[in-house]
Amino acid sequence: MSTISATVVHRFSFTTQYANLNTQYVCFQFLMMAQFDGIKPEQFMSGLAALRAEGFPCDIHLEVDGKTISAHRVVLAAVSPYFKALFNGNFKEANEKVVKMKGISFDGLRSIIDCMYFPGLTLNMGNLPGILGAANFLQIFTIVSQCEGFMKQQMSETTWFRFLELADQYYLNDTLSHVTDYKLGNFATLRHSTEFKLLTQGFSDTFLFSHNELNTGNDESSVFYAIKEWLEYDEEHMKFAEDLLS
């Protein structure tokens, strides 16, 4: 609350008398008063975040795996098309104070909602899957794009396979293309890894249609041995033998 002037805070105290008013009205009144006092939007959000921390006037509580995240409908709806449709449509959740969320991680959802109040999102290998899944679920594609940018920057021998799984799961075609380029360009090294032997979808295409793009390290026989090792790694792979070895 320190970033909001004492005058605004004093005038905003009237909302304690009207705690049952919807949050959209309260936030609108707060924003209007803030503008007259020369308060910047980020200061307004800082004040709103402080109110959220105090639990007032939070009008929505999201429950994930028995844990709860409190927030303001107007903030969620302003950022997420999913929440906008949920709160403005004919869904029962439009009038409920507690909404149970399924198919989304608690940590991922919390990180994104925190980001709505405090701009800036820190991604790492640990929180990437949860945040990407939550952003995709909530249709916040600016964060999805940020996750894709992170994966491109962090592509390496130890991360490419996990990124391939995530890109395939969420239909991230640009990232899939980037992983494919990395896989082909580093074939000579990656072919010895367990992850390479775990490849299923797209493995045959890599060799049948992208052979000329493979970086074999001047060892053409490495392609044959890579195919042989892949086929022998899993019985399910053998159904591709005829196409790969013909």
In order, the DSSP letters of 140-170 are: -HHHHHHHHHHHHHT--TTTHHHHHHHHHHT
CA distance 117 to 197: 43
Is-contact 117 47, C-beta < 8 A?
no
Determine how many CB atoms are found less than 10 A away from the CB of residue 211.
12
What is residue 111's predicted lDDT score, i.e. its pLDDT?
95
Which has more pLDDT, 169 or 206? 169
CA distance 164 to 176: 6
What is residue 217's predicted lDDT score, i.e. its pLDDT?
63
What is residue 56's predicted lDDT score, i.e. its pLDDT?
66
Q: Is 198 helix (H, G, I), strand (E, B) or coil?
A: helix
Phi/psi of residue 69, each to 5°? Answer: -120, 125
Q: Is the pLDDT at 239 greater than 90, yes or no? A: no
Q: Could you read off the pLDDT of 57-99 as tens digits, one per residue?
A: 788 999 999 999 999 898 899 889 999 999 887 888 888 999 9
Structure tokens at 28: 């609108």
pTM of the predicted structure, to 2 decimals:
0.74
What is residue 110's predicted lDDT score, i.e. its pLDDT?
95
Q: Which class for 79: exposed (0-12), middle (13-18), buried (19 or more C-beta within 10 A)?
A: buried
CA distance 103 to 83: 15
Q: Could you read off the pLDDT of 110-157 as tens digits, one per residue?
A: 999 998 888 789 999 999 999 999 999 999 999 999 999 999 999 999
> H or E segment at 98?
strand 98-100
Q: Is 68 helix (H, G, I), strand (E, B) or coil?
A: strand
Which has more pLDDT, 208 or 120? 120
What is residue 9's predicted lDDT score, i.e. its pLDDT?
38
Half-sphere exposure of 241 (CA within 13 A, CB side): 11
Is-contact 68 24, C-beta < 8 A?
no
What is residue 74's predicted lDDT score, i.e. its pLDDT?
86
Of the spans 41-45, 72-76, 143-147, 161-165, which averages the highest pLDDT?
143-147
CA distance 60 to 76: 9
The answer to whether the bond into 57 is cis (omega within 30° of 0) is yes
Residues 6 or more apart in contact with residue 162 via CB below 8 angstroms:
125
Confidence of residue 209 (pLDDT cuts 50, 70, 90): very low
What is residue 23's predicted lDDT score, i.e. its pLDDT?
47
What is residue 152's predicted lDDT score, i.e. its pLDDT?
97
Is-contact 116 76, C-beta < 8 A?
yes
- Residue 176 identity: L
Q: Could you read off the pLDDT of 210-235 as tens digits, one per residue?
A: 555 666 666 667 777 878 888 888 88
Q: Is the pLDDT at 104 greater than 90, yes or no? A: yes
End-to-end CA distance of the chain: 71
The residues facing 20 across adjacent strands are: none
What is residue 206's predicted lDDT score, i.e. its pLDDT?
58
Phi/psi of residue 201, each to 5°? Answer: -60, 130
The residues facing 99 across adjacent strands are: 62
What is residue 52's predicted lDDT score, i.e. its pLDDT?
72
Does 58-138 carry CATH code 3.30.300.130?
A: no
Confidence of residue 25 (pLDDT cuts 50, 70, 90): very low
